Amino acid sequence: MDAMSLLEQARQAGLTVTADGDRLVVHGPKEAAALAEELLDHKDEVMPLVAEAWNERIAAAWLASTLHRVGKLHDELAPDIPVDALDTPEWNRAEAIVHAAYSLKSRVALRDALDEYERFARAAFEGLAT
């Protein structure tokens, strides 16, 4: 399982995952101890996602810019298809990953999630247009 998926599971399980210097710090309910151990086992992959400095204005701008580009993609590639036609498990997962990255306040994770979201949107719109 990749680090981003582990962090999303951690958020859903009520864990908070932060970096303190070179230490990965995990807090949360005892019921999620196995997941906390898995996070610690993947420290090298998880640390870059939680250690970056967060800037709310930059994050909001990235999000707005990506949503604008996705809206333009829809208008270009599938203008006659209602947006709610995209309510699929895959689409919901793509949105959940963006939400998780934003909630984690990780610049790297958010950037990667938004890039993937845009790639997914393009593929979805192209598929609907055919």
* 44/63 same-domain check: no
Which of the pair, 64 or 130, is modelled with greater confidence?
64
CA-to-CA distance for 120 and 91, rounded, in angstroms? Answer: 8
* 40/58 same-domain check: no
Q: Kindly tell me if the per-residue pLDDT of 1 is higher than 70.
A: yes
What's 40's domain CATH number?
1.10.10
Q: Write out the residue range of the structural domain in which residue 99 sits.
A: 52-130
**Beta bridge partners of residue 24, listed in sequence order:** 19
CA-to-CA distance for 31 and 35, rounded, in angstroms? Answer: 9
Beta carbons of 60 and 102 less than 8 angstroms apart: no
User: Domains in the chain: how many in total?
Assistant: 2
CA-to-CA distance for 2 and 49, rounded, in angstroms? Answer: 11
* 44/66 same-domain check: no
Percentage, residues of the chain above pLDDT 90: 35
pLDDT tens track for 61-78: 889 988 998 999 999 998
Specify the pTM.
Answer: 0.61
* 97/63 same-domain check: yes
* Encoded amino acid at 75, one letter: D
